Amino acid sequence: MRNSTVSLWMVMLLLGVYLAGCKGDSQQKAAEPETEEVGSEPAVTLTSEEMARAKQIYFNLCAGCHGATRRGATGPSLLPDGDGKFPATKELGTEALTHIIMNGLPGGMPDWGKQGVLTEEEAKLMAKYLQLPPPPIPQMTMEDVRKSWKVYVPVEARPTRPETQRNWKNYMGVILRDAGKVAIIDGDTKEPVAVLNTGFAVHILRSSSSGRYFYSIGRDGKVTLIDLWPEKPQIVAEVKTAFDARSVEVSKYKGPQGDFRDKYIIAGGYVPSHFVVCDAMTLEPLKMVSTKGKVLDTGEYLEEARVASIVASHHDPLWVVNVKETGMVWLVDYSDLDNIEQNITKIPTARFLHDGGWDHSGKYFLVAANAENKIVVIDVPNKKLEKIIEVGTKPHPGRGTNIQHPKYGHLWLTGHIGEGLVAAIATDPGPHQWEVVENVRMPGVGGGTLFIKSHPKSKHVWVDRPLNTNEDLQRTIYVYDAATMELKKTLRVPDRYKARAVHLEYNKNGDEVWVSGWAKKDDESVLLVFDDKTLELKKEITGDWLVTPTGKFNVYNTAHDIY
């Protein structure tokens, strides 16, 4: 038994299991105790208290990559009997699973034990839990969403013009992940203007079309509406749209079909798999649409069909909604909300869609099917699949970035989690359109890149690497010359911070780059502000309030999709 366990563990190692950053969360109720006879090994047994703990840990650390139903997505399936592709967890057994959970795997599986996130006892508990059948997905009704809706400041009580003298269009919204807060920082003075309680593990911020509001969404599925016009920014409404979520976006279209700017927001759900449309000014929930459905090629029906990235078109009244497990890209026309379900174009693409962004024209949307090493291109105005492009191992663009190349014209770039590679895809019409015209190898071993960023005014491309297994590379930032794609400089989070470098964002003028020095909750974190011309460190922003900073979103750039 032990030999087969070890060889299966090796199989998993070779498969380069990816669980990167798997910190999904959901508010799940404890289940009844479960016991199961597992193969020829003694039965795996958990008490109801252990089961409840294991469920919570699973949703906190693992569900994002492996799925609530454990059928796999960015990471492999974790099913007691396997799925034909990946080993059965009950064959892997407690010892091998504990080892993997403690030590991680090169393809992106974090070393939860080594990082001090899980104890050996907790890793063993999880190893046992994974050998039992997954619990059912909890359901949520429109009534549940409605009950959670709160307006703190009605629209008519809000300022009619900015009350602040600050340059609010250059505010930077910074996610303080483990504090459950968002900091609003004045991008000119670098002072924190407000630190707001937004809810558990906020994942992203998006700006309203006007830039006046930030919408945050957390892993608890809560959307928070932040008004930036008062002297001190404040939360004016909130609503819980799912148990577990990652994406939110606003309507941005103005044209012959009407002015829909800042009329609706859409919040995507991981658990349950659905999206909810709300009024953009009050967050009143208006529509709920399930994304459960059939896998693009096998036709298998999936209850877990999670909403990954969402973007809003500026040219059409459309949201691009990427349904991870089915591999379907939905173009959701919101111009007739009553009939929204009848106005969805569903495009089969590739499985396990994750993150992506617009090309420079704002007409093509490029999204990573990261478990399949592909970038999918959607022609949004013509509502069709344009191209599927093979790239490196586990592309992770964030929203990607757009640069101009002397030979190939506009390029859209992605980094990779699975290897140290930046792929540049030509987007202009012509003989090279949708070709990977540059594959830029990063120095050092392994991948680990999550985000990449440039700016129309910049000559540089900035790349992070927080998921690399080497602690030194985790804190390194790579700056490339955008014209030649030659490495110009490597920068690092100063050694006095026990922090990784993660996520890059330009200021409004495009002459500064902000990078998070993301430490553990009890260690000191930092925001580093670099001069984009000289590549010198201009400012270290620190403070008691700066707890686990991850994503940063400049008001102007986010509202105008500048990246």
Query: Rounded to the nearest whole angstrom, what is the least distance from the CB of residue 388 to ligand DHE in the complex?
Result: 19
Selection from 207, 245, 226 nearest residue 152 by Cα:
226
**DSSP state string for 412-464:** EEEEESSSSEEEEEE-SSSTTTT-EEEEEEPSSS------EE--TT-SEEEE-
Q: Residue 74 CB, nearest distance to ligand DHE (Å)?
A: 6
Give bridge partners of residue 294 from the DSSP assignment: 301
- Burial bucket for residue 141 (CB in 10 Å: 0-12, 13-18, 19+): exposed
Any contact of residue 554 with ligand DHE (CB under 6 A)? no
Q: Which of these is catalytic: 12, 22, 51, 66?
A: 66
Which CB atom, from 8 or from 562, has the smaller least distance to ligand DHE? 562
Task: Check binding of 128 to ligand DHE (CB under 6 A).
Answer: no
| One residue of 185, 245, 310, 440 binding ligand DHE per CB under 6 A | 310
Please confirm, yes or no, whether 485 is among the known catalytic residues.
no
Cα–Cα nearest to 154, from 62, 225, 99, 219: 225
Closest CA to 276 of 291, 261, 292: 291
Sequence-distant (≥ 6) Cβ neighbours of residue 162 within 8 angstroms: 168, 228, 229
Of these, 69, 74, 349, 474, which contacts ligand DHE (CB under 6 A)? 74
- Considering the rule CB under 6 A, would residue 64 count as an interface residue with ligand DHE? yes
CB of 537 within 8 A of CB of 529? Answer: yes
Tokens coding 280: 């953009």
399 binds ligand DHE (CB under 6 A): yes
Nearer to ligand DHE, 80 or 110 (CB): 110
Q: Stretches 14-22, 127-135, 293-301, 337-345: which one binds ligand DHE (CB under 6 A)? A: 14-22
Considering only 503, 526, 549, 554, the residue that binds ligand DHE (CB under 6 A) is: 503
Q: How many CB atoms lie within 10 A of CB 419?
A: 21
CB of 247 to ligand DHE, least distance (A): 3
Q: How many residues bind ligand DHE (CB under 6 A)?
A: 25
Does residue 503 carry a catalytic annotation? no
End-to-end CA distance of the chain: 52
Rounded least distance, CB 454 to ligand DHE, Å = 13
Listed ranges 27-35, 150-158, 274-282, 307-315: which one lies at the site for ligand DHE (CB under 6 A): 307-315
- Residue 354 a catalytic site member: yes
Q: How many CB atoms lie within 10 A of CB 339?
A: 9
Query: Cα–Cα distance between 196 and 234 in angstroms, integer?
Result: 7
Q: Which is nearer to ligand DHE, 22 or 366 (CB)?
A: 22
Q: Tell me whether residue 62 is one of the annotated catalytic residues.
A: yes
User: Of residues 474, 550, 554, 557, which one binds ligand DHE by CB under 6 A?
Assistant: 550
Return the closest-CA partner of residue 383 out of 337, 328, 309: 328
Taking CB under 6 A as the rule, does residue 65 contact ligand DHE?
A: yes
Q: Catalogue the E-assigned strands of 208-325.
A: 213-218, 222-227, 234-240, 247-250, 254-255, 258-259, 264-268, 274-279, 285-290, 293-294, 301-302, 307-312, 318-323
Q: Is 308 in the site for ligand DHE (CB under 6 A)?
A: yes
Query: 432 an active-site residue?
Result: no
* Identified catalytic residue from 203, 274, 354, 455: 354
Q: In the bound complex, which residue of the shown chain has the CB atom lying closest to ligand DHE?
A: 64
Q: Is 203 in the site for ligand DHE (CB under 6 A)?
A: yes
44 versus 353: smaller Cβ distance to ligand DHE: 353
Distance in Å, CB of 91 to ligand DHE, minimum: 26
Which residue of the set 12, 22, 102, 109 is catalytic? Answer: 109
Minimum CB distance to ligand DHE, residue 145 (Å): 19
Q: Least distance (Å) from ligand DHE to the CB of residue 270?
A: 7
**Which of helix, strand or coil describes residue 474?**
helix
Other C-beta atoms within 10 Å of 376: how many?
A: 23
Minimum separation from the CB atom of position 402 to ligand DHE (A):
13
The active-site residue out of 12, 22, 51, 65 is 65
26 to each of 126, 217, 355, how far by Cα in Å? 17, 13, 20
Q: Which range touches ligand DHE (CB under 6 A), out of 19-27, 155-163, 507-515, 521-529?
A: 19-27
Q: What is the dihedral of CA 434, 370, 311, 548, to 10 degrees?
A: -130
**502, 515, 541, 562: which one binds ligand DHE (CB under 6 A):** 502
AA identity, residue 224: T
* Type and span of the H or E element at 174: strand 171-176
**Cβ-proximal residues to 195 (8 Å cutoff; 6+ apart), any chain:** 176, 181, 182, 183, 184, 545
Which residue, among 284, 393, 287, has the nearest Cα to 14 in the 3D structure?
393
CB closer to ligand DHE out of 21 and 272 = 21
Residue 396 among the catalytic residues:
yes
> In this chain, which of 247, 273, 313, 557 binds ligand DHE, going by CB under 6 A?
247
CA torsion, ordered 305, 23, 560, 216, to nearest 10 deg: 90
355 binds ligand DHE (CB under 6 A): yes
Q: Which residues of 210-237 are buried (b: 16+ CB within 10 A; e: fewer)?
A: ebbbbbbbbbbbbbbbbbbbeeebbbbb
**Within 147-186, which residues bind ligand DHE (CB under 6 A)?**
177
Q: Which stretch binds ligand DHE (CB under 6 A): 274-282, 308-316, 376-384, 456-464?
A: 308-316
What's the CA gap between 157 and 227, in Å, rounded? Answer: 12
Characterize the bridge pairing of strands 44-46 and 150-151: unpaired
User: Which residue in the set 46, 125, 204, 369 belongs to the binding site for ligand DHE (CB under 6 A)?
Assistant: 204
Using the contact rule CB under 6 A, the part of the chain among 20-28, 158-166, 254-262, 296-304 near ligand DHE is 20-28
Q: Which residues bind ligand DHE (CB under 6 A)?
A: 20-24, 64-65, 74, 177, 203-204, 246-247, 308-310, 354-355, 398-399, 450, 502-503, 550-551
Would you name the residues annotated as active-site residues?
62, 65-66, 109, 354, 396
